[in-house]
Amino acid sequence: MTDIREIVNEIETLRPIPPVAAKILELAEDINSSLAEIADLIIHDPSLTANVLRICNSANFGFSRKVESVHDATTLLGLNRIVKLVLLDSLSHNLSGDQQSYGLGEGELWRHAVLSAHVVKIMGANNGVPHNKHLVFTAALIKDIGKVILGRFVAFSFEKIHILVKSHGYSFNEAEKEVIGMNHEELGALIAERWRFSEKLIYIIRNHHLSDESARDDTETALVYLADLVCMMMGMSTGVDGLAYRFYSDVLNRMSLTEKDLQTVIAATGESWEKLESLLNLV
Ligand SMILES: [Fe+2]
């Protein structure tokens, strides 16, 4: 088994999420915070300001006039889209590389992350269950961050993991835990702790495959799990672990959803995918 300390030390090789993005995330999770507070944080970060303006002025948004200030951007886009842009900008660097040991080529983990976040947004809007939409968007986007580091260790142990998955009925993350001593959910939660994310966000990352049955009662964790599942059903960049996936049908009942509802989400996601892809290329 791999020395866990060796894995944890590798967290330092990630580019930390900028403090301003973490703060924006925190504000976005608080229903009492305002758009003005978030804009105020952005304007104090020159590179974030530049990126927000660059993206807003791209053809993708199609505004009839140039967006010249963060104030303009926040007014035109609104809180939801500004928060999403900030998150996408802050996380793309860490997630855009290839993860060969997970069967993911260059940019595929990033595409999967963005698609998951997009799906959770659609699913949340279609479902009447109350939830914090910024929280689930972020959680869906970042849930597999542990793979960025664990992938290097999975590569060394791939044969053993493969045998457990193929011949012993393990899911991929169960096999990671058995062979390496840690799975990408646990490592992702550790990274989120280092980056001082909220307790709830850490919880969702740690449980996004619902390996712990008690997490199935948590609406926001269940939404992130279902978004991941929908991506797998769409065949979108899930890599080798998508081939050994646990489907908990009771989660659908708990969320008052049916498989037909998932099909509806898949159709809605397919329709908006083209626009989403252009956003992926911008960040
Ligand atoms: Fe995962």
What is the Å distance from ligand 1's center to 49 Cα? Answer: 31
Q: What is the pTM of this model?
A: 0.84
Domains of the chain from N-terminus onward: 16-95 (no CATH), 96-283 (1.10.3210.10)
Q: From CA 74, how far away is CA 27, in angstroms rounded? A: 15
Cα 27 to middle of ligand 1, angstroms: 26
- Tell me the pLDDT tens digit for each residue of 148-189: 999 989 999 989 999 999 899 998 889 999 999 999 999 999
DSSP E strand stretches across the chain: none
- For residue 184, report the distance from its CA to the centre of ligand 1, in Å: 7
pLDDT for res 275: 67
Distance 79 CA to ligand 1 centre (A): 28
Task: For the beta carbon of residue 165, count every other beta carbon within 10 angstroms.
Answer: 19
CA pair distance 133, 15, nearest whole angstrom: 25
The confidence score (pLDDT) of residue 279 equals 59
Mean pLDDT of the chain: 86
* Over residues 253-262, mean pLDDT: 88
The Cα 79–Cα 61 span in angstroms is: 15
Report CA(144)–ligand 1 centroid distance (Å). Answer: 5
Q: Which pairs from 178-181 meet CB under 8 Å and 24+ separation?
A: 179/1, 180/1, 180/2, 180/7, 180/150, 180/153, 180/154, 181/1, 181/2, 181/4
Q: What is the pLDDT of residues 68-111, one digit of tens each?
A: 898 888 888 887 788 878 888 888 888 888 888 888 888 888 88
